[in-house]
Amino acid sequence: HSRSGLARSRPFQGDPVMRSVLFDTETTGLDPLTGDRVIEIAAIELINDLPTRNTFHRLVHPQRDVPPESTRVHGITLDKLRDAPRFAEIVDDMLTFFADDKLVAHNAPFDFGFINAELARCNRPKLLRERMIDTLVLAKARFPGMPNSLDALCRRFGIDLSQRTTHNALLDCRLLAEVY
């Protein structure tokens, strides 16, 4: 490929390679400070803002109930999580996948808050806000006064939502990667 080519499978020697990680969580509720917990985490590696095939996905046992109002959002019941590992059992794999790279999420303070609460329970350092790229903030700046939910953005960009009957962390990551 020439430098002006539209697509290339790998960077040219000397081109900077920027890795970031786009991620999403599903939870038992809306507030980690009142005991709500992460029940699913998914992440996709981005190289120069484009998704690779390198993903991370885990269901997590929350060590508490999953309220019906939460199950209506994501379709995950406590029974589905019966054999899932605890967060402390997946934290090393998650942190290895995240590395020290920028972390992209839609409404990132929500996901950071939950991950940081889980990290605190494991006596691990929190994710620093300097690593955060919030696609909701980016969308509000680009489309002020318009709906900027993930569904609204997918519709705006003509991205197929037919598989999204409930929130699912890995599917939401794939959709957000297309939007991003």
Active site residues: 167
CA distances from 129 to 65, 105, 109, 126, 141 (A): 29, 12, 8, 9, 19
Let me know: does 1 contact 19? Beta carbons within 8 Å.
Answer: no
> Within 10 Å of residue 176's Cβ, how many Cβ atoms?
22
Let me know: does 21 contact 103? Beta carbons within 8 Å.
Answer: yes
